Amino acid sequence: MNIPDIVYALSTSDSAVEQNLRERLAALAAEAGLLDVAYRTLDTPVGSLLLAATDRGLVRVAFPRQDHDAVLQTLAEQISPRILRAPARLDRVAHEIDEYFLSKRTSFDVPLDFRLSKGFRLEVLHHLPEIEYGHTASYAAVAAAAGSPKAVRAVGTACALNPLPVVVPCHRVVRSDGSMGQYAGGPEAKSILLTLEAAA
């Protein structure tokens, strides 16, 4: 078994001893400057979310249907192969997401790393938090707010490829007729998020 296999085995195991080893490995890697991307999973009403962060902030949130292993592989290719399961690095993010699902939080205060989005897609993501909790906006309205009123389809693409769903609220963007439209987490997840916010 080579070193990557050992790291993977430690990061996927659930025993108390191996969890302790994993935490020590993560701490040592961080101290040595060898941990570029920390990740953990979090159980939520919309399934187990993968959370990943760099030293700049939260860089990725992924739903189960997006295949967590594939997401981690993409992060290794796009950011750095030095990825390790290090739950403590994401405690604050996890706490805020828990508060959100308990209807105790309407916005997020964690630092965000937007390096996975560029150009107009990044512009759209910066406008999404302006849609207030419990409200929705049409793709056309978001396109106008982002400075390109005709780029309705591009807004749809930006929302579909949003690397930070839930925290950057692309679920609040709906079709002009009020129907939900597509969502990376699936229609049920989008419905759960909108219903949660509407009930608050």
For 179-196, the pLDDT digits (tens) are 888 899 999 999 999 999
Mean pLDDT is highest, among 3-17, 21-35, 99-113, for: 99-113
State the pTM of this model: 0.84
Which listed residue (137, 168, 170, 193) is catalytic? 170
Query: 69-78: per-residue pLDDT in tens?
Result: 999 999 999 9
Provide the residue type at 44 as one letter.
Answer: T
Is it the case that residue 48 has pLDDT exceeding 80?
A: yes
In angstroms, how far is CA 80 from the centroid of its own chain? 17
Provide the residue type at 66 as one letter.
Answer: Q
CA distance 89 to 94: 10
Q: In the annotation, is 170 catalytic?
A: yes
In angstroms, how far is CA 33 from the centroid of its own chain? 24
Phi, psi dihedral angles at 105 (to 5 degrees): -145, 135
Q: Which residue has the tokens 């989008």?
A: 190
